[in-house]
Amino acid sequence: MYGSVARGEAIVKKSDLDLIAMFDTKLCSVQLSELKQLAGDLSQNYRSLVRDVGIAVADYEYTMDPSNYYENAFLKELCVCVYGEDLGEKFGPYTLTSEIAIRFNGDIYEALNRTLKRLETSSEEDFKIFTQAFARKLIRTYYSMVMVRSQIWTTRLHEQSEVFIHHFPEKESIIRTLLDWIDVPPTNQEAVYELFKSEGDWASANFSNEAKIR
Protein backbone atom coordinates (compact mmCIF):
# COMPACT_ATOMS: atom_id res chain seq x y z
CA MET A 1 0.00 0.00 0.00
CA TYR A 2 1.19 3.51 -0.73
CA GLY A 3 -0.20 7.03 -0.73
CA SER A 4 -2.29 8.90 1.82
CA VAL A 5 -4.00 5.81 3.27
CA ALA A 6 -0.62 4.18 3.93
CA ARG A 7 0.60 7.37 5.63
CA GLY A 8 -2.50 7.60 7.82
CA GLU A 9 -3.46 10.91 6.23
CA ALA A 10 -6.43 9.89 4.08
CA ILE A 11 -9.51 12.08 3.83
CA VAL A 12 -12.82 10.23 3.75
CA LYS A 13 -14.36 10.13 0.25
CA LYS A 14 -11.50 12.22 -1.20
CA SER A 15 -8.50 9.91 -0.93
CA ASP A 16 -7.68 6.88 -3.07
CA LEU A 17 -6.65 3.48 -1.77
CA ASP A 18 -3.51 2.61 -3.75
CA LEU A 19 -2.41 -1.02 -3.64
CA ILE A 20 0.38 -3.06 -5.24
CA ALA A 21 -0.04 -6.83 -5.57
CA MET A 22 3.24 -8.73 -5.99
CA PHE A 23 3.21 -11.97 -8.03
CA ASP A 24 5.94 -14.53 -8.66
CA THR A 25 4.35 -15.62 -11.96
CA LYS A 26 3.10 -13.63 -14.92
CA LEU A 27 -0.67 -13.15 -14.89
CA CYS A 28 -2.72 -14.06 -17.94
CA SER A 29 -5.25 -11.68 -19.50
CA VAL A 30 -8.13 -13.35 -17.65
CA GLN A 31 -6.42 -12.90 -14.30
CA LEU A 32 -5.61 -9.27 -15.06
CA SER A 33 -9.25 -8.68 -15.96
CA GLU A 34 -10.35 -10.29 -12.72
CA LEU A 35 -7.98 -8.05 -10.77
CA LYS A 36 -9.34 -4.98 -12.55
CA GLN A 37 -12.88 -6.11 -11.75
CA LEU A 38 -11.89 -6.60 -8.11
CA ALA A 39 -10.56 -3.05 -7.93
CA GLY A 40 -13.81 -1.79 -9.44
CA ASP A 41 -15.91 -3.78 -7.00
CA LEU A 42 -13.90 -2.52 -4.04
CA SER A 43 -14.30 1.04 -5.29
CA GLN A 44 -18.07 0.63 -5.39
CA ASN A 45 -18.36 -1.22 -2.09
CA TYR A 46 -16.24 1.29 -0.18
CA ARG A 47 -17.38 4.49 -1.89
CA SER A 48 -18.39 5.85 1.51
CA LEU A 49 -14.75 5.71 2.62
CA VAL A 50 -12.46 6.18 -0.40
CA ARG A 51 -12.77 7.90 -3.76
CA ASP A 52 -11.28 5.00 -5.70
CA VAL A 53 -9.36 1.74 -5.25
CA GLY A 54 -6.45 0.98 -7.55
CA ILE A 55 -4.51 -2.29 -7.70
CA ALA A 56 -1.19 -2.25 -9.56
CA VAL A 57 0.59 -5.49 -10.48
CA ALA A 58 4.30 -6.05 -9.85
CA ASP A 59 6.60 -8.92 -10.79
CA TYR A 60 8.50 -10.28 -7.79
CA GLU A 61 11.79 -11.16 -9.51
CA TYR A 62 11.93 -7.90 -11.47
CA THR A 63 11.09 -5.75 -8.45
CA MET A 64 13.62 -7.48 -6.20
CA ASP A 65 16.47 -7.34 -8.74
CA PRO A 66 19.08 -4.93 -7.25
CA SER A 67 19.68 -3.46 -10.71
CA ASN A 68 16.12 -2.09 -10.76
CA TYR A 69 16.89 0.88 -8.54
CA TYR A 70 13.57 2.64 -9.01
CA GLU A 71 11.44 -0.37 -8.05
CA ASN A 72 13.64 -1.09 -5.01
CA ALA A 73 13.50 2.53 -3.85
CA PHE A 74 9.73 2.85 -4.34
CA LEU A 75 9.12 -0.32 -2.33
CA LYS A 76 11.48 0.77 0.45
CA GLU A 77 10.67 4.45 0.77
CA LEU A 78 7.02 4.85 -0.22
CA CYS A 79 5.20 1.57 0.47
CA VAL A 80 3.77 -0.06 3.58
CA CYS A 81 3.38 -3.85 3.67
CA VAL A 82 -0.11 -4.95 4.71
CA TYR A 83 0.12 -8.66 3.88
CA GLY A 84 2.99 -11.14 3.60
CA GLU A 85 6.72 -10.54 4.01
CA ASP A 86 7.83 -6.90 4.21
CA LEU A 87 10.11 -6.84 1.17
CA GLY A 88 11.08 -3.22 1.76
CA GLU A 89 13.28 -4.31 4.66
CA LYS A 90 15.67 -5.89 2.15
CA PHE A 91 16.65 -2.51 0.65
CA GLY A 92 17.80 1.03 1.23
CA PRO A 93 17.80 3.67 2.41
CA TYR A 94 17.94 5.31 -1.01
CA THR A 95 19.12 8.57 -2.49
CA LEU A 96 16.85 10.28 -4.98
CA THR A 97 18.26 10.09 -8.51
CA SER A 98 17.28 11.36 -11.94
CA GLU A 99 16.38 7.77 -12.84
CA ILE A 100 13.78 7.71 -10.08
CA ALA A 101 12.48 11.14 -11.11
CA ILE A 102 12.08 10.06 -14.72
CA ARG A 103 10.44 6.77 -13.79
CA PHE A 104 8.00 8.59 -11.50
CA ASN A 105 6.75 11.21 -13.94
CA GLY A 106 8.82 11.23 -17.11
CA ASP A 107 5.67 10.34 -19.05
CA ILE A 108 4.19 13.84 -18.76
CA TYR A 109 4.04 14.37 -22.53
CA GLU A 110 1.97 11.23 -23.06
CA ALA A 111 -0.21 12.01 -20.04
CA LEU A 112 -0.83 15.53 -21.33
CA ASN A 113 -1.96 14.43 -24.79
CA ARG A 114 -4.15 11.70 -23.33
CA THR A 115 -5.80 14.13 -20.92
CA LEU A 116 -6.45 16.85 -23.50
CA LYS A 117 -8.20 14.34 -25.76
CA ARG A 118 -10.35 13.13 -22.87
CA LEU A 119 -11.30 16.65 -21.84
CA GLU A 120 -12.53 17.46 -25.34
CA THR A 121 -15.12 14.66 -25.35
CA SER A 122 -15.90 14.06 -21.68
CA SER A 123 -19.17 14.53 -19.84
CA GLU A 124 -19.41 17.24 -17.18
CA GLU A 125 -18.77 14.74 -14.38
CA ASP A 126 -15.87 13.06 -16.18
CA PHE A 127 -14.39 16.48 -16.93
CA LYS A 128 -14.12 17.12 -13.19
CA ILE A 129 -12.50 13.73 -12.60
CA PHE A 130 -9.96 14.20 -15.41
CA THR A 131 -9.21 17.74 -14.20
CA GLN A 132 -8.45 16.58 -10.67
CA ALA A 133 -6.35 13.66 -11.91
CA PHE A 134 -4.18 15.75 -14.22
CA ALA A 135 -3.81 18.55 -11.67
CA ARG A 136 -2.31 15.95 -9.33
CA LYS A 137 -0.16 14.62 -12.17
CA LEU A 138 1.23 18.08 -12.92
CA ILE A 139 2.14 18.74 -9.29
CA ARG A 140 3.87 15.37 -9.01
CA THR A 141 5.70 16.05 -12.26
CA TYR A 142 6.84 19.47 -11.02
CA TYR A 143 8.12 17.84 -7.84
CA SER A 144 9.94 15.14 -9.81
CA MET A 145 11.75 17.88 -11.73
CA VAL A 146 13.42 19.11 -8.52
CA MET A 147 13.50 15.99 -6.33
CA VAL A 148 17.17 15.27 -7.08
CA ARG A 149 18.43 18.70 -6.01
CA SER A 150 16.08 18.79 -3.00
CA GLN A 151 16.64 15.19 -1.82
CA ILE A 152 13.23 15.27 -0.14
CA TRP A 153 11.16 12.07 -0.27
CA THR A 154 7.43 12.76 -0.11
CA THR A 155 4.19 11.73 -1.79
CA ARG A 156 2.16 14.46 -0.09
CA LEU A 157 0.88 16.86 -2.73
CA HIS A 158 1.18 19.96 -0.54
CA GLU A 159 4.75 19.07 0.42
CA GLN A 160 5.62 18.33 -3.20
CA SER A 161 4.17 21.71 -4.11
CA GLU A 162 6.29 23.56 -1.56
CA VAL A 163 9.46 21.76 -2.66
CA PHE A 164 8.84 22.83 -6.25
CA ILE A 165 7.89 26.41 -5.35
CA HIS A 166 11.18 26.74 -3.45
CA HIS A 167 13.03 26.25 -6.74
CA PHE A 168 10.46 27.86 -9.05
CA PRO A 169 8.76 30.66 -7.05
CA GLU A 170 7.39 32.14 -10.27
CA LYS A 171 5.12 29.07 -10.56
CA GLU A 172 3.46 29.53 -7.15
CA SER A 173 0.20 30.94 -8.51
CA ILE A 174 -0.10 28.01 -10.91
CA ILE A 175 0.49 25.54 -8.10
CA ARG A 176 -2.13 27.21 -5.90
CA THR A 177 -4.63 27.06 -8.76
CA LEU A 178 -4.00 23.35 -9.28
CA LEU A 179 -4.43 22.63 -5.58
CA ASP A 180 -7.71 24.57 -5.60
CA TRP A 181 -8.91 22.56 -8.59
CA ILE A 182 -8.13 19.31 -6.79
CA ASP A 183 -10.29 20.40 -3.84
CA VAL A 184 -13.07 21.96 -5.92
CA PRO A 185 -13.15 21.08 -9.65
CA PRO A 186 -13.63 24.21 -11.80
CA THR A 187 -16.51 24.72 -14.21
CA ASN A 188 -14.63 26.90 -16.72
CA GLN A 189 -13.57 24.22 -19.18
CA GLU A 190 -11.69 26.62 -21.45
CA ALA A 191 -9.53 27.85 -18.56
CA VAL A 192 -8.71 24.27 -17.57
CA TYR A 193 -7.74 23.29 -21.10
CA GLU A 194 -5.55 26.37 -21.59
CA LEU A 195 -3.69 25.98 -18.29
CA PHE A 196 -3.13 22.26 -18.77
CA LYS A 197 -1.88 22.80 -22.33
CA SER A 198 0.48 25.61 -21.32
CA GLU A 199 1.89 23.97 -18.19
CA GLY A 200 1.96 20.50 -19.71
CA ASP A 201 3.97 21.79 -22.65
CA TRP A 202 6.36 23.60 -20.30
CA ALA A 203 6.87 20.50 -18.15
CA SER A 204 7.36 18.29 -21.21
CA ALA A 205 9.99 20.63 -22.65
CA ASN A 206 11.94 21.11 -19.42
CA PHE A 207 11.53 17.86 -17.50
CA SER A 208 14.59 15.94 -18.69
CA ASN A 209 17.08 18.74 -18.09
CA GLU A 210 15.62 19.93 -14.79
CA ALA A 211 15.34 16.41 -13.34
CA LYS A 212 19.10 15.91 -13.71
CA ILE A 213 20.19 19.08 -11.89
CA ARG A 214 21.79 18.40 -8.52
Q: Report pLDDT for 70.
A: 86
Confidence of residue 19 (pLDDT cuts 50, 70, 90): very high
Confidence of residue 148 (pLDDT cuts 50, 70, 90): very high
**Within this chain, do residues 74 and 119 fall inside the same structural domain, yes or no?**
no
Question: Mean pLDDT, the chain, as a whole number?
Answer: 94
**Within this chain, do residues 126 and 202 fall inside the same structural domain, yes or no?**
yes
Domain that holds residue 159: 100-211
pLDDT in tens, 84-96: 999 989 887 788 8
Running DSSP on this structure, what letter comes out for residue 14?
Answer: T
Confidence of residue 159 (pLDDT cuts 50, 70, 90): very high
Once rounded to an integer, what is the mean pLDDT over residues 120-149? Answer: 95
CA distance 7 to 164: 21
Neighbouring residues of 153: CB distance < 8 A, sequence distance ≥ 6:
77, 78, 96
Q: Express as a percent the part of the chain with pLDDT over 90.
A: 79
**Within this chain, do residues 81 and 149 fall inside the same structural domain, yes or no?**
no
What is the residue type of 74?
F
Q: What are φ and ψ of residue 35, in 5° steps? A: -65, -40
Count of domains forming the chain: 2
Q: Report pLDDT for 211.
A: 92
Once rounded to an integer, what is the mean pLDDT over residues 166-185? Answer: 97
**Within this chain, do residues 53 and 139 fall inside the same structural domain, yes or no?**
no
Among 93, 118, 152, identify where a domain stops. 93
**Within this chain, do residues 19 and 109 fall inside the same structural domain, yes or no?**
no
CA distance 36 to 213: 38
Query: Contacts for 106-111 with beta carbons within 8 Å, 24 or more apart?
Result: 106/144, 106/207, 106/208, 106/211, 108/137, 108/138, 108/141, 108/200, 108/203, 108/204, 108/207, 109/200, 109/204, 111/137, 111/200
* Residue, of 46 and 95, whose pLDDT is higher: 46
**Within this chain, do residues 73 and 140 fall inside the same structural domain, yes or no?**
no
pLDDT in tens, 56-77: 999 999 999 988 888 898 888 8
